Amino acid sequence: MKKKNTLQSRLFKNYSFIMSLILILCFIILSFFYIHNEYRRMIDYLNTLTSSIANNIEQETDKLSNASMNTIYSKSLKSCMDNIDPQAPDWNLITEVNKVIGSIIGPYSTVSQINVYSIHNYMVGWGTFSISQPAVLTRQPWYKEVNTLHGYKYIGLPSMNEEFTKINPYMKSRYYLSMLRMYYDSAYQPQGVVEVVQDCSIFFSYLDELCEDNPELSVQIINSGGDLIYPYKSHTSTPGYYKSVQEGTVYQNTGNIVYDENGNRLFLTWKGEEKSGWNILITQNTRYLFEKLYPFLLVFTGFLAAFLCASMYLCFHVAKNLMLPLNSLKTQLEKINLDEILSSDTSLLIDSQENTTAEIETLFEIYNDMYLSLKDSSESIINAKAEEARAKLFATQSMLKPHFLYNNLTNISIMAENNMTPQIITFCSNLCRYLRYISSDGLANVDIATELKYSVSYLDCMKIRYGDKLHYQLDIPDELKNIQIPKLTLQPLIENSLKYAFPNSPPWIIRIAAAMEDQFCCLSVSDNGIGFSEESLGTLIKQLDEIRHSKDIYSIEIGGLGIRNVFLRLLFMYGEKADLLITGSQNAGAKIVIKIPIGK
């Protein structure tokens, strides 16, 4: 059968489950808010960076635009460029143009280079290097785009400048960005193009520094045509997720989730910069967020485990304290037995306790009432059983009296036929003494000394009848003579020996002895007669076992005399601790031992 859980374990499990559920829910909610907060902080940070980059791009673009507009609005420069003959350029005019350009660039070199192209197919440049040479305007790679803008700025793609490389080979690895504008005369007729060139390492210095300090960030700048502006040294194409920006499925200044070509999950924020017409994109792998959250989650999980252990400990002690009154009641119930109930001790009653509930107090009161009622009922039942046992004991003894009288009257009759008058007188004297003993209305129990005294009177009667054929021996220590036994315990055993043990030739010897063995007084009656056959011994032992293992000896009907009767009366007096043993074999005598527990 499956073992049932205790109430304490159920309380512990239920409390632990509730506490664990609350803690785990709190952990999930706090973790959600923390992760959400960190996510918003990261998105806000990325949006801030995007706005900062846009502002920086706007400032750098304004530098180029201002240099371009200052050049266009210089009348002297336009006049000089209009008068330069490509076939025979005037160096004074070129020098004047260079001076104007130099003054626009200024001492701090706000831009790297300014080149001016005239419609007369000649160009003059000043800045990182000075150049003047024929140049067919319409053949320049950017002419078509610049011409269609009608004076609005055009920003080309970052590239390496061949002219710079020719002059200075160390500039071979440098990238430059150009802003171009068409300029017109007063009649709004095209007169040429102004190109403002800026070193990319200067234009994008803020971005380079930002990316170096934040390697987990990826910054891309893409123009309106979908061309990659930054990183300017990158030879990769526009990222695939830029299509979502073009289609409008991801919004500016918000956190968006996109995937790159390798399937990596990215956070994306982007912002359009109006003056340059560029879109600024910042992406960050989502794993960086979780790497940042990992220490927090680890520490928080540790705290959760600690709180769970503490809550388990608390729940255990709460359940234990709640169960203390019930455990006290259980302990008291386990102590209840017949001896405790019949004793005058009231230690099994439970006193009122201060920290218990009204229900527990009611349970204690019910238990105390039940215990007292059980005590009263048990005492009544025990008294009734004792009276019943006493009545049965007297009944068995009453059965012995006529039986004993009948046997001895037979003996007197036999002696009279043999003219044994003196012996009859002695016999009758002993018999009268013995009859007064067995017919007295005193206690049903006597000490061994008294029982032995009258058993000797009976043996003397038998010795008168049998003469020297019968001998008896007594071996009972004085310290055992005060032990109580049922009245007429020895006489039936002696009579049993005389009746069944001595059909053979004399001398016939009966020995009555007593000794202490393991807290038992062993009172024995033995003879040197024919003993028991295996069949009769087995029958006797079986009958005694039936009496010994009976659940209620008081319900056994009285009937039969001799050994069975003696054993039954012994159990009435001493209970199941008393015993009666039979030993002996055929033609080897018999021995009947009565074991009486000491201390009863």
The domain ranges of the chain are: 1-331, 338-380, 388-597
Closest by Cα among 66, 52, 178, 159 to 113: 178
pLDDT at position 171 is: 63
Name the amino acid, one letter, at 557.
E
pTM comes to 0.53
- Return the higher-pLDDT residue of 186 and 246: 186
Query: Token pair 């359940």 is at which residue?
Result: 319
Q: What pLDDT score was predicted for residue 7?
A: 64
Which architecture characterizes domain 388-597 according to CATH? 2-Layer Sandwich (3.30)
Mode of pairing for the β-strands spanning 470-475 and 508-517? parallel
Dist. CA 142–CA 137, nearest whole Å: 9
pLDDT at 116: 94
Would you give the distance in Å from CA 196 to the centre of its chain?
74
- Determine contact, residues 71/125, Cβ cutoff 8 Å: no
Strand partners, 485: 446
Counting every residue, how long is the chain? 600
pLDDT tens-digit map of 21-50:
887 888 888 878 877 787 888 888 888 888
Res 351: pLDDT: 64
Burial of 362 (0-12, 13-18, 19+ CB in 10 A): exposed
Question: Cα(460)–Cα(22) distance, rounded to whole angstroms?
Answer: 94
Q: Which of 525, 531, 509, 528 minimizes the C-alpha distance to 585?
A: 531
Q: What percent of the chain has pLDDT over 70?
A: 79
Average pLDDT over residues 75-93: 89
Domain 1-331 identical in fold to domain 388-597? no
The larger pLDDT score, comparing residue 53 to residue 562, is at 53
CATH class name, domain 1-331: alpha beta
Q: 454 pLDDT exceeds 90?
A: no
Give, in order, the Cα–Cα distances in Å from 583 to each of 224, 479, 498, 593.
123, 26, 17, 8
pLDDT at 558: 42
